[in-house]
Amino acid sequence: MQDLVNIFVKSVFIDNMIFAYFLGMCSYLAVSKTVKTAVGLGAAVIFVLGITVPINYLLENYVLKAGALAWVPFVDLADVDLSFLSFIMFIAVIASMVQLVEMIVEKLSPALYGALGIFLPLIAVNCSILGGALFMQERQYSTIAEATAFGLGSGFGWLLAIVAIAAIREKIRYSNVPAPLRGLGITFIITGLMGIAFMSFMGIQL
Amino acid sequence: MSEKKEALFSKKNRKLMTDPLDGSNPISVQVLGICSALAITVQVEQAFVMSLAVMAVLIFGNLIVSGMRNLIPSRIRIIVQLVIVAALVILVNELLKAFMPDVSEKLSVFVGLIITNCIIMGRLEAFALANKVWPSILDAIGNGLGYGWILVVIAFFRELFGSGKIFGLQIIPESFYEAGYMNNNMMILPPMALITVALIIWVQRSKNTDLIEEN
């Protein structure tokens, strides 16, 4: 349990998707004009990361990794290494999961669909989702629970970042920013400063 | 066929290549492809290799998608594009692993993230799906260069001030360090990449006032 909380906190604050790795920056910049839409997109990212990271974890450990196919009975597949296929498999899982989640949410909870609906298709090409899968592969989490904690934590960190920047951008409309920096430029600078602030979390161990 | 055949480098086609370098630059104006761009600009070498990789994927992606544009049903075009791009990225990744193992190690997950790089999907959607093959290739080259030069400029400043080197070669002489000069370690950290981009945007927009946005 301790480990899981540790991984969660670490991926929210220290290895924050936006501030440490710049993942999902495109939608972060495009959808952060108001807090309301930012919360919607952030929630969708948590949702999708929480689902796709564990699925990709299973895929990685039981299909793709070197020797992962050893569980197949009757044929000897122990030295098959399919890891070169991981990009295409991960992106296929993500694209189809997003589609599936969209359909399920639409059926079960129209209210949630109304809130997340327009953002879900956008998410298939959000770098943070594929990034989550690739970091999970690189860091080699030992159990599926750890991978899930990482996925949810990364999503939560992303939500935190986009809501914070959206709140600042709502206010900055009233300030006198130098003309060439307006819009994109000042958003980059604020994100950089927020990144510096987030670095103070470095080294936290629970 | 009354339509006159267009020269390969007609004015319109040249514009396709030069526009993305400044007026419609993918990074500083269209805001595409920031995701993987910033993390790998600590050293010029990485930035250079990354730009080449993105450009290669972009050119071949545009070529294939534009060649198939009349065959792809529009409902499933995103998945088709993703599969094409993912296949190209796998090729690039395997080539990098084989010929430049150390750079490939440093780029880590960011090569894979070229798949979801918004520049690629953005150009495929906005240009290759609606245009002939040759203009699409030019558009890809232009956007690749536009992406590349920003990356290399950011990396240049970050590596110069961050570790005193360019392409891994020591530029700032030893005597400076003896006189008390210190590398600015801040430049190596991720937040400074964002601030460097902001400065580039600032310079670009104060020259080209058409690009200034509403607050």
pLDDT tens per residue across span A126-177: 788 888 888 888 888 888 999 999 999 999 999 999 999 999 998 888 888 8
pLDDT band at B2 (very low <50, low <70, confident <90, very high): very low
Q: In this complex, is the C-beta atom of A168 within 8 Å of any C-beta atom belonging to chain B?
A: no
Residue A127: what pLDDT?
A: 80
| Out of A25, A84, A173, closest to residue B35 by CB | A25
How far apart are the CA of A74 and the nearest CA of chain B, in angstroms?
Answer: 31
Residue B108 has pLDDT above 80, yes or no: no
| Out of A85, A172, A180, closest to residue B202 by CB | A180
Rounded CA separation B38/B198 (Å): 12
CB contact under 8 A, B112 and A129: no
Residue B3: what pLDDT?
A: 47
CB contact under 8 A, A87 and B191: no
Residue B18: what pLDDT?
A: 78
CB contact under 8 A, A195 and B28: no
Residue A118: what pLDDT?
A: 65
Q: How much of chain B, in percent, has pLDDT values that exceed 70?
A: 93
B34-68 pLDDT, tens digit per residue, is 776 777 888 888 888 888 998 999 999 999 988 88
Q: In this complex, is the C-beta atom of A154 within 8 Å of any C-beta atom belonging to chain B?
A: no
Residues 98-117 of B with CB under 8 A from A: 108-109, 112-113, 115-117
Q: In this complex, is the C-beta atom of A177 within 8 Å of any C-beta atom belonging to chain B?
A: yes
| Out of B32, B78, B190, closest to residue A195 by CB | B190
Determine the residue of chain B that is closest to A171 in CA distance: B215
Phi, psi angles (nearest 5°) of residue B170: -65, 125
* ipTM of the complex, rounded to two decimals: 0.79
- Contact residues on chain A for B27, CB-CB shorter than 8 A: none
| β-strand pairing of B165-166 with B169-170 | antiparallel
Residue A158: what pLDDT?
A: 92
For B110-142, b/e burial (b = at least 16 CB within 10 A) is: bbbbbbbbbbbbbbbbebbbebeeebbbbbbbb
CB contact under 8 A, A172 and B215: yes
Q: In this complex, is the C-beta atom of A67 within 8 Å of any C-beta atom belonging to chain B?
A: no
Phi, psi angles (nearest 5°) of residue B117: -60, 125
In degrees to the nearest 10, what's the CA dihedral of B57, B58, B61, B65? 170
For residue A178, give both structure tokens. Answer: 């130098």
| Out of B82, B192, B205, closest to residue A180 by CB | B205
Q: How much of chain A, in percent, has pLDDT values that exceed 90?
A: 16
- What pLDDT tens digit does each residue of chain A (206 aa) get? 778 888 898 888 888 888 888 888 878 887 788 888 888 888 888 888 999 999 999 988 888 887 777 777 777 777 778 878 888 888 888 888 888 878 887 888 787 777 666 667 777 777 888 888 888 888 888 889 999 999 999 999 999 999 999 999 988 888 888 888 888 888 889 988 988 888 888 777 66
Q: In this complex, is the C-beta atom of B38 within 8 Å of any C-beta atom belonging to chain A?
A: yes
The average confidence (pLDDT) of chain B is: 82
Q: Which of A7-11, B93-97, B120-124 has the lowest mean pLDDT?
A: B120-124
The angle, 0 to 180 degrees and rounded to 10, between the axes of the packed helices B11-18 and B133-163 is 30
Determine the residue of chain B that is closest to A186 in CA distance: B198
Query: Alpha helices, DSSP H only, in B9-71?
Result: 11-18, 34-37, 44-67
B70-83 pLDDT, tens digit per residue, is 888 877 777 788 88
Residues 181-200 of B with CB under 8 A from A: 189-195, 197-198
CB contact under 8 A, B189 and A199: yes
Residue B5 has pLDDT above 60, yes or no: no
Residue B7: what pLDDT?
A: 63
Residue B1 has pLDDT above 60, yes or no: no
**pTM score, whole prediction:** 0.82
Residue B209 has pLDDT above 50, yes or no: yes
Determine the residue of chain B that is closest to A138 in CA distance: B109
